[in-house]
Amino acid sequence: MLLMLPACRFSRASNTSPPPEEAVEEEVPAIPAGAKALLKAYPDFIVSYSDNQLIFCDGTSMVYDDGEQKDHLTRLDCSDPEDMFFHKYFTGPVHEPENCYDPGRFRCEALFKKMYGSSAEEVRTHLVDVQWFGQKIPFTSVNGAADSLRAVQADILADHPELKKYFSNSSSFCWRTVRGARRLSAHSYGMTIDIGTKFSNYWRWSYRGKEELDVLPSFQNRIPDEVVMAFERHGFIAGAKWYHFDSMHFEFRPELLYYEGE
Ligand SMILES: [Zn+2]
């Protein structure tokens, strides 16, 4: 366990201190852009970064970068916190992504389990009901996710009430693995919502039989940019921006929106 103590830079005995002009500037190692974004996004959990470790407020720590070279499939299944930023997420209107460009599909399971719960029961203890376009949607209160979802609805109702039809039959929490994989779906953590399937495109539904590394015939999306951007304003990313498009899918991932790296 790493214990962070405040630096005592002003407590040297005066007779042993070098004169100020001879003081050597200590070089502070740069915090990686991804770690900075995580600190900003999850202040209730992550309190500092030191020596390649994310330090949590309960005193535990987690390796930020495991140093392993990963291909697309390994990154999907075994992401560390650093891998989550492998593809930069760009806010704004939806454009067709390049082959296998999936910003946000790489998730460090240990990190999300630590914050949202490591079992269905534990995640459930944090769920609250959100009134969502006439439905009651269970969503986690952790990290302010439920309040952020409410803010998305408020924006849509204020600015684009004509878009309400896109939200009917939404669904959120479901503890399950991703089809064909052992990793947990983002829906397991209670911070992800699928809006109405009527206007949605999902690569597995569109192209049955295609697998993760196959080239997809074409990109599909019918969700308006105004919906995508309302979610992004409140900390969510859109599955409509993935090469493996899942246009109904919105996931609370503020760290990707705070990321200022390349
Ligand atoms: Zn989804």
Digit-coded pLDDT (tens) for 233-261: 999 999 999 999 999 999 999 999 999 99
pLDDT higher for 145 or 23? 145
Classify residue 8: in a domain, yes or no. no
Q: What is the DSSP letter of 25?
A: P
Q: Cα(44) to centroid of ligand 1, in Å?
A: 25
- CA 162 – ligand 1 centroid, Å: 23
81 located within any domain: yes
Distance 159 CA to ligand 1 centre (A): 25
Mean pLDDT of 138-163: 98
- Ligand 1 centre from 170 Cα, in Å? 10
Residue 9 is assigned to a structural domain of this protein: no
- What residue numbers bound the domain in which 239 lies? 14-258
Domain assignment present for residue 19? The answer is yes
Domains held by the chain: number: 1
Cα 102 to averaged position of ligand 1 atoms, centre (Å): 14
- Taking the complete model, does pTM exceed 0.85, yes or no? yes
Residue 36 CA to ligand 1 centre (angstroms): 27
Inside any domain, residue 3: no
Q: How far is the CA of 60 from the centre of ligand 1 (A)?
A: 30
Kindly tell me if the per-residue pLDDT of 196 is higher than 90: no
Find the mean pLDDT for residues 149-166.
Answer: 97
Decide if 1 is inside a domain.
no
Question: How far is 184 from 37, CA to CA, in rounded Å?
Answer: 23
